[in-house]
A and B are shown apart, each in its own frame.
Chain A
Amino acid sequence: MAETGGCFPAVVDLNEVDHFLLQLDHTMGQGPGRANVCTFVVTLRGHLALETLRRRIEADPAYRWLTRLRLSGGLLRRGRWREDGRAGLPALRVRLSETDEGVPPSLLATELDVRRESPLKIDLLHQGKECSRLIFTWHHALMDAHGGEFLIRHLGTGQARSPFLRQPPCPSPLSWRQRGEIAREMKTDLYETAKPPLLVLHRKERPAGALRYQVMRFSSRETRMIEGRARAHGAAFLTSAFYLAAAACALATLKRRRGDTLEDVLVPVPQDRRRRGAAGPIIGNQVSFLFYRIPAGALGDLARCTAEVVAQTRAFIRSGMTDRYLVMMGLLRYLPGPLYRALLRSPTQGEMGSCFLSDTGEILGGCKSLFGHEVLEAVHYPPNIHPPGLTFVFGRFRGALQVTLASMGGVVDVHESECLLAALRRNLLGEVGDAL
């Protein structure tokens, strides 16, 4: 049964995917830049007063509960969110900007110390009188992108109904022995799929460098053209397969430009496991992962690359990969953190993949206003795990495709990241001419 507001547990165990993301956070925390933190920026028309925002959200029981959660354990023993009833609500930070030059990088670099502070923070940015931006920052071990969107819709639309907060864990119908067998098979498959050599853009001798975000937008007309090209390249309705193929070919273009040999591309892609047609749950990552390996030989041919991704998607669904992966992750979380993290890196010998990629679907679909103001724009800024230090997030806002690229300066410099986006744009739209 779903838990809703009015029934806020004092302790919430991290699920198997939360645990995985917390371990990644630990790995990232040892490098430069912020750890496994998600940011979602919503631009509203007009001036949203800080007091209006404060009144609305601080009156919400779900928000009060969620911001009082603190992480305990997770590295050597099982991770849990515990409600700290004495904790105050996090300060809402407001900033003013005379110019409309997008989101200041400092607001996309917020760090969260979730053992001592709220795992969710909200910043309000006033840019002239024309627009206000809400910057929501949360720890990835708390919720995924869709969970974040559900929460923000709940807060911003003043729904009296309590939100669907979390799905309480249900006992596995499988015996320990069955789960062990599935995990063993999954591990074998994963080692086979992820074995080096892999196409990577980062160079081991270089430090990761600073995190940078770039957002590439397409018009509705261009988005329809891309969907048409996806069909023409054999993806049919599976447009996200075409996105992945286009991104893989763009990576190969950059690799060739460097004069390097091409290797197979490995991309872990999260897959939403929520039941469709209803909101929630909000907290707890509800994803599994699909691991695509695209052969180097296919990277020069977008249609072949797309066919490869579609064929692998069919094979993953047939073999129940998303369920099997969760079974394996469910067992692994009983391991001590250092061993878990060593196992996490071992199939790829530390490379993790060529890049990370996700398709969040329609962003804030059907939501026209939040906090009484028209929504003009909404963008996800993903965490960027290093290595590989390169993450693509595809999403559609009101039917128009947008891509956020997160990259580390030590992986691709400014010019290379622009070339990467140009190559991706050309692959998606089929523009004539060599962008590089």
Chain B
Amino acid sequence: MAAMEIQAEDIAAQLCGFLRERILAPGVPVTPDTDLSDIGVDSFALMELILFVERRYGLVLPPEALTPENLASVAALSRYCAARLPAADG
């Protein structure tokens, strides 16, 4: 069976789901392109998001990856993760 890439869009959907379920107040809108600082996602909440990535995808993000650019939005973080995840068997 061909290897299948995990798409950034799939990761983004998971991360948005995690934010809605665990971090954000009910009704706070979040999309992949939402600026996370605009919806009150502070450093502790970001750490929870990063550890979710670690649990869900087995991907440990090194300190040099945790730049303001990579953490500005779910889309940016998802792109970074997708580029570093090994292809999974589909």
Chain A positions near chain B (C-beta within 8 angstroms): 234, 236-240, 271-272, 274-278, 313-314, 317-318, 361
Contacts and interface: CB of A to CB of B under 8 A. Distances in A.
Given A234-B63, A237-B66, A239-B43, A278 B25 contact: yes
Interface of B: 23-28, 39-48, 51, 63, 66-68, 71
Contacts of A317: 44, 47-48, 51
A64 to B, nearest CB: 26
A96 B63 CA distance: 52
B37 to A, nearest CB: 10
Given A234-B63, A237-B68, A318 B28 contact: no
Given A236-B66, A238-B43, A276 B51 contact: no
B39 A277 contact: yes
A205 B44 CA distance: 39
Nearest to A241: B43
Contacts, number: 54
B42 A276 contact: yes
A277 B43 contact: no
A61 B45 CA distance: 33
A4 to B, nearest CB: 14
Nearest to B41: A276
Contact of A318 (B23, B51, B71): B51
Contact of A276 (B23, B27, B63, B71): B23
Contacts of B23: 275-276
B51 A277 contact: no
Contacts of A314: 47, 51
Nearest to A322: B44
A177 to B, nearest CB: 25
A277 B44 contact: no
A361 B42 contact: yes
